[in-house]
Amino acid sequence: MLRDAAPEDWRDYLIKAHDAELLQLNLLNAYYEGTQPLSYLAPELLAELNERMRQVVINWPQLVVDSLEERLDVEGFRYARAEQTADDIWDMWQANDLDEGSQQGHVDSIALGRAYTITGPDEADDDMPVITVESPLDVFTAADPRTRHTAAGIKRWEEPGFAGEQPTKYTNLYLPNARFTYVRVKGKWQEDTDLRWEHNLGDALVQVLANRPRIKRPLGTSEMSSVLPLSDAANKQASDMMVAAEYHAMPRRWATGMAREDFADADGNPLGSFSALAGRLWVNESTDVKFGQFPEASLTNFHDSIRLLAQLVASLSGLPPAYLGLTTDNPPSADGIRSAETRLVKRAERRQRGLGGPWERTMRSALRVRDGEVSPEARRLETVWRDPATPTYAQKADAVVKLHGAGLLPTEQAWEDLGYSAEQRSRMRRMQQDALDRAMGDDYAAGYGPKPPADGPEPAPGPAPDGPAPAADPQPAAA
């Protein structure tokens, strides 16, 4: 069984499984960066052209990823039955720079199919766990078939050598009750026992930020998968268009009855009269001297092909046509723009739901590292996301004000709906409380005199603001 496997068996199995995934992960990473090889070109032709042909990259895969990631912003976390976001969890989030880290994790998750988070202790601060966002190029996990949570995980990295030494390879193995660190020495893995951490928390402390996971593919799928063939075709069309522009799109002149010696500079050096470059003259040696010009070729066939491919990308990815440059003579209305973004917004909402669970498990892991346990309220933790839609601020504010005025929306929820961050909401609560304290202090002073200090004596009873002084208590009769 999985739980009975030795740490060394887990290490070797995960490294082998990760190696099998790296080729595809590196290819997906190249597509996102726009450095993928040119497709749909014969290898013989590519070898003949050598460095004279460079592909034109229309980076639609990056557009698909970034357009979705731009709508995924974590605003906080809320405990079960709590009205406000959890300040202690948000403190851990901010202390680990997860505003930036979550953005990078979402990009890798959408582009490569998954990213990871790893939680561990901070030797300098026991109350603040360390949470890092990791690339799938460095981390791999295996899931427990019963719970589908992480049963074991590895992180691999390489540290450079100094003074002529070779780089050193390291691997961290994460199991539910311990973390092991291995060093590659003379081709074999050796454990560094000084770095072993036995926490006995029952949690491997590695969570998977999977994009579109399925029952049989729990590690997720790249959002770019459906558009990669179309992107390859568009890059080929664009590259061919540049070749056609070089050789056929500009008018070519020709001449007959000219000799090679007729094309020389002042020193008698021959000129490149027979060059195939654009703008040069095509010459044929003959007895008849004639001049002429070939008609230029139209490139509209390339334009139409790329436009068709862009329409297919828009239909598969849910991107609005304007994102892909598919514009019309009549500019769309505001309602038309929002209608075109409906599928993209719905996709973002699905990703929020899918990524919210891993973020909640990550923060519960941080609570385990900090407190040694997880409270019942944290077991029903909720991730608070920013609204992925793009209504105008005036429309959003008008709707929130109407719902709040009708008593259907609490103030805290109204602030969330308007897009204020957790720090802004906390500051607004303090400002609201300060204003209330000042107002209560002014009313008290108007009727009863200066407000006493918090630790001072109780004030003597004074006259009411409107009305006679209170009657004195009757004294008991003398015995």
Given this model, what pLDDT does residue 277 score?
44
Low-confidence ranges of the chain (pLDDT < 50): 273-279, 467, 477-479
pLDDT in tens, 426-458: 888 888 888 888 887 765 555 555 555 555 555
Whole-number Å distance between alpha carbons of 290 and 278: 20
Paired residues of 143 in beta bridges: 150
Nearest CA among 381, 330, 386 for reference residue 357 = 381
Given this model, what pLDDT does residue 276 score?
39
Whole-number Å distance between alpha carbons of 244 and 296: 10
Answer whether 154's CB lies under 8 Å from 173's CB.
Answer: yes
Given this model, what pLDDT does residue 273 score?
43
Whole-number Å distance between alpha carbons of 264 and 285: 15
Nearest CA among 432, 281, 351 for reference residue 102 = 351
pLDDT in tens, 345-395: 999 999 999 999 999 999 999 999 999 999 999 999 999 998 888 655 666
Whole-number Å distance between alpha carbons of 82 and 332: 42
Given this model, what pLDDT does residue 307 score?
93
Given this model, what pLDDT does residue 446 score?
56
Nearest CA among 150, 171, 149, 170 for reference residue 160 = 170
Given this model, what pLDDT does residue 398 score?
77
Given this model, what pLDDT does residue 252 score?
66
Backbone angles phi, psi at 183, to 5 degrees: -120, 140
Amino acid at 128: M
Give the residue extent of every domain in the chain.
2-42+51-57+85-221, 391-447
Whole-number Å distance between alpha carbons of 202 and 179: 12
Given this model, what pLDDT does residue 164 score?
75
Query: The pTM is what?
Result: 0.77
Q: What is the DSSP string of 252-309?
A: EEEEES--GGGSB-TTSPBP-TT--STTPEEEE--SS-EEEEEPPPP-HHHHHHHHHH
Strands 382-385 and 197-198: unpaired
Nearest CA among 18, 12, 219, 225 for reference residue 116 = 219
* SS3 call for 205: coil
Given this model, what pLDDT does residue 433 score?
83
Given this model, what pLDDT does residue 11 score?
96
pLDDT in tens, 245-282: 766 656 666 666 666 666 666 676 665 544 434 445 55
Whole-number Å distance between alpha carbons of 369 and 205: 9
Whole-number Å distance between alpha carbons of 236 and 230: 10
Q: What is the DSSP string of 386-448?
A: ---S---HHHHHHHHHHHHHTTSS-HHHHHHHTT--HHHHHHHHHHHHHHHHHHHHHHHHHHH
Answer whether 119's CB lies under 8 Å from 131's CB.
Answer: yes
